[in-house]
Amino acid sequence: MDDSEAREELVRRTGQMAVPVILVDDEVVVGFDRARLERLLGI
């Protein structure tokens, strides 16, 4: 996947262009949200 494909996928999945974007299973986390990530990861 080249950069333009990755950018298009980001916009398609999140509706915006922001980083970081972290995928946990099918959950999209935009930005660094430690509490949400810990909950999704079960830690």
Domain boundary assignment for the chain: 3-41
Residue 16 · residue 8 · CB < 8 Å? no
Which residues, listed in sequence order, are joined to residue 29 by a DSSP beta bridge?
Answer: 22
Looking at the whole model, is its pTM more than 0.75? no
What's the helix, strand, coil split of the chain in %, to 5? Answer: 45, 20, 35
pLDDT band at 27 (very low <50, low <70, confident <90, very high): very high
Q: How far apart are CA 22 and CA 20, in angstroms?
A: 6
Whole-number CA gyration radius for the chain: 11
Mean pLDDT, rounded, of the chain: 88
Band of the pLDDT at 1, cuts 50, 70, 90? low
